[in-house]
């Protein structure tokens, strides 16, 4: 019988690919006219094992309360969102102990390394081009204290397979000459040689095409309204176009996974956290960075993707709307211009695409992959700020679990109503 995958972002399409490879008959239902038009469209583009630390970390709840209502805060919780997400907030706070933070970061790293390998295998097997670049990632710091603290976290992750190097300002500039102008403000950097860059939208569309060639069917422009069950087993879904039968359904709808399953009384704790990216042609900016730079104190990433540059950042808890707040987009441009003063001369906002997407964030900061109490109903969602990094590995793990195979890595712990990870 057909397996339905709901959602064709990076996570849903990777799930469809691996289910098809496992010999299953797969159909994908997607409300947009093509794959990867929502959060998987304009993300920062970095495939980063270096960024696996969850946002639920020691000290974060206090910081978020201190930032309440402040328009320029790195993570802005809007008052209007609080009544809808207090339970998620409590779960988030419970995950902010040092022990849980370390466990969750290590789980993400494990999956990120599995994912990077899977992504490379898929890209070469399916011949997908997606503006891949393999120069690593440079994370820059402006105080020794913040650099030391980041190094402590990377030292812990290094025990689980993260590769990194601490570099002084001189080597920073040697690695990325575009930092020369502001080198006096830097304290140093961490360099992650194994991190990569790629266009998530291009990859996901390429993978959807490859899936279709292998027989996966895509129902674009069709919105899932509810999941149907009978006798404790899933039997299909209802869409705006009719009813589809299936005995296995995988919900990979990012932030929209929770409201869909809430209709069945199944609680999946994922809340949308809005982020912004600004993409513009590199054009005549010949001295633009060649490698992705993540600025820890100014909280943005500037990433070359093919012939474009993309700045991304901002985290705003304000519900499900995807309109980029002008003030927050302007702050990202301002911060990036501080680090790269040349940029302003080349960034013409009228030619740039200012975009916002909803990071599907779970309280533990790890994805939710597993089955629910309804037999045959699976979830693969909640990848937060790491969905491009974790998509291929998560798709592979989900397909392994669904088809009763051992994924070969430890699956992140279940959250909410995901009760088990075995078929
Ligand atoms: C500003 C920003 C920067 C980021 N940078 C990075 C980065 O550098 N590296 C990284 O690893 N990650 C990054 N991320 C995170 C990453 O983009 C997400 O985690 C990832 O895209 C989530 O993929 P997904 O497939 O789960 O969700 P989505 O891409 O949102 O896919 C879900 C799909 O479900 C569909 N859908 C929803 N509801 C329905 C319905 N009712 N019926 C049918 N279809 C439905 C949607 O149309 C969508 O196509 C960033 C995110 C943001 C916002």
Work out which ligand 1 atom sits closest to the CA atom of 312.
Answer: 1
By most ligand atoms within 8 Å of CB, the mutation choice from 39, 109, 313, 391 for ligand 1 is 39
* pLDDT of res. 423: 53
Residue 183 DSSP code: G
Average model confidence (pLDDT) across the chain: 96
- What is the arithmetic mean of pLDDT over 32-61? 97
Ligand 1 near 256 CB (within 6 A): yes
Report how far ligand 1's centroid is from the alpha carbon of 362 (Å).
13
Ligand 1 near 328 CB (within 6 A): no
Residue 304 DSSP code: E
Ligand 1 near 310 CB (within 6 A): no
- What is the arithmetic mean of pLDDT over 258-270? 97
Residue nearest atom 12 of ligand 1, based on CA coordinates: 386
In this model, does residue 422 exceed pLDDT 60?
no
Strands (E), 320-376: 353-361, 368-371
In this model, does residue 420 exceed pLDDT 70?
no
Q: Are 312 and 300 in contact (CB under 8 A)?
A: yes
- 171 burial class (0-12, 13-18, 19+ CB within 10 angstroms)? middle
- What is the arithmetic mean of pLDDT over 267-272? 97
Q: Cα(358)–Cα(319) distance, rounded to whole angstroms? A: 9
Residue nearest atom 28 of ligand 1, based on CA coordinates: 9
Q: How many alpha carbons lie under 13 Å from residue 270 in its C-beta half-sphere?
A: 35
Q: Are 364 and 412 in contact (CB under 8 A)?
A: yes
Percentage of the chain modeled with pLDDT above 90: 93
Chain segment 126-172, per-residue pLDDT in tens: 999 999 999 999 999 999 999 999 999 999 999 999 999 999 999 99
Work out which ligand 1 atom sits closest to the CA atom of 274.
Answer: 53
Report how far ligand 1's centroid is from the alpha carbon of 10 (Å).
7
Ligand 1 near 249 CB (within 6 A): no
* pLDDT of res. 72: 81
**In which band, very low, low, confident or very high, does the pLDDT at 110 lie, cut at 50, 70 and 90?**
very high
Number of H helices, E strands in the chain: 11, 20
Ligand 1 near 28 CB (within 6 A): no
Instruction: List the alpha helices (DSSP H) in 5-59.
Output: 10-21
* pLDDT of res. 234: 98
Encoding tokens for residue 167?
A: 């570099």
Chain segment 179-209, per-residue pLDDT in tens: 999 999 999 999 999 999 999 999 999 999 9
Q: Cα(383)–Cα(107) distance, rounded to whole angstroms? A: 12
Report how far ligand 1's centroid is from the alpha carbon of 7 (Å).
9
Token pair 């045959």 is found at 376
**In which band, very low, low, confident or very high, does the pLDDT at 48 lie, cut at 50, 70 and 90?**
very high
Render 115-158 in DSSP notation, one character per residue. HHHHHHHHHHHHT-----B-S-EEEEESSHHHHHHHHHHHHHHH
Ligand 1 near 43 CB (within 6 A): yes
- What is the arithmetic mean of pLDDT over 68-90? 89
> Picking from 73-87, 223-237, 266-280, which range would have the lowest pLDDT averaged per residue?
73-87
* pLDDT of res. 47: 98
Work out which ligand 1 atom sits closest to the CA atom of 382.
Answer: 26
Chain segment 219-243, per-residue pLDDT in tens: 999 999 999 999 999 999 999 999 9
Q: Are 191 and 138 in contact (CB under 8 A)?
A: yes
Q: Are 22 and 215 in contact (CB under 8 A)?
A: no
pTM of the complete model = 0.97
- What is the arithmetic mean of pLDDT over 35-62? 97
Beta strands 137-141 and 188-192: pairing type? antiparallel
Spatial neighbors of 73 by CB under 8 A, at least 6 apart, are: 67
Token pair 């609680």 is found at 267
* pLDDT of res. 74: 86
Chain segment 307-349, per-residue pLDDT in tens: 999 999 999 999 999 999 999 999 999 999 999 999 999 999 8
Report how far ligand 1's centroid is from the alpha carbon of 37 (Å).
8
**In which band, very low, low, confident or very high, does the pLDDT at 17 lie, cut at 50, 70 and 90?**
very high
**In which band, very low, low, confident or very high, does the pLDDT at 71 lie, cut at 50, 70 and 90?**
confident
In this model, does residue 417 exceed pLDDT 90?
no
Ligand 1 near 7 CB (within 6 A): yes
* pLDDT of res. 376: 97
């Amino acid at each position: 019988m057909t397996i339905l995958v709901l959602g064709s972002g990076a996570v849903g399409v990777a799930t469809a690919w691996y289910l098809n490879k496992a010999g299953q008959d797969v159909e994908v239902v997607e409300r947009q006219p093509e794959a990867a038009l929502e959060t998987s469209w304009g993300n920062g583009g970095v495939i980063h094992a270096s960024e696996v630390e969850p946002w639920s970390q020691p000290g974060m709840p206090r910081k978020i309360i201190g930032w309440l209502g402040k328009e320029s805060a790195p993570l802005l919780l809007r008052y209007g969102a609080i009544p809808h997400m207090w339970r998620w907030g409590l779960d988030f706070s419970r995950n902010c102990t040092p022990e849980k933070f370390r466990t969750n970061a290590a789980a993400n790293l494990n999956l990120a390394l599995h994912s990077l390998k899977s992504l490379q295998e898929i890209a070469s097997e399916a011949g997908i081009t997606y503006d891949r670049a393999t120069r690593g990632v440079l994370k820059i710091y402006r105080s020794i204290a913040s650099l030391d603290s980041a190094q402590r976290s990377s030292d812990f992750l290094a025990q689980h397979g993260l590769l990194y190097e601490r570099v002084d300002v001189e080597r920073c500039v040697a690695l990325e000459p575009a930092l020369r102008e502001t080198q006096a403000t830097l304290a140093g950097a961490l360099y992650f040689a194994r991190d990569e860059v790629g266009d998530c939208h291009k990859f996901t569309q390429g993978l959807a095409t490859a899936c279709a060639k292998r027989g996966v069917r895509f129902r674009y422009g069709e919105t899932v309204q509810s999941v149907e069950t009978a006798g404790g087993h899933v039997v299909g879904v209802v869409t705006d176009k009719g009813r589809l039968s299936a005995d296995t359904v995988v919900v990979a709808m990012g932030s929209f996974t929770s409201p869909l399953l809430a209709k069945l009384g199944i609680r999946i704790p994922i809340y949308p956290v809005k982020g912004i990216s600004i993409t513009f042609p590199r054009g005549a900016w010949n001295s633009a960075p060649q490698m992705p730079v993540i600025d820890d104190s100014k909280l943005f990433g500037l990433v070359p993707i093919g012939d474009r540059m993309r700045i991304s950042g901002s985290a705003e808890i304000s519900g499900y709307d995807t309109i980029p707040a002008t003030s927050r987009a302007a702050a990202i441009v301002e911060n990036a211009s501080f680090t790269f003063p040349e940029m302003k001369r080349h960034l013409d906002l009228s030619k740039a695409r200012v975009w916002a997407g909803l990071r599907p964030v779970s309280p533990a900061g790890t994805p939710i992959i597993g089955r629910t109490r309804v037999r045959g109903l699976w979830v693969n969602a909640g990848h937060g700020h790491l969905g491009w990094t974790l998509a291929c590995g998560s798709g592979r793990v989900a397909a392994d679990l669904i088809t009763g195979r051992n994924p070969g890595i430890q699956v992140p712990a279940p959250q909410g109503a995901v009760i088990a990870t075995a078929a």
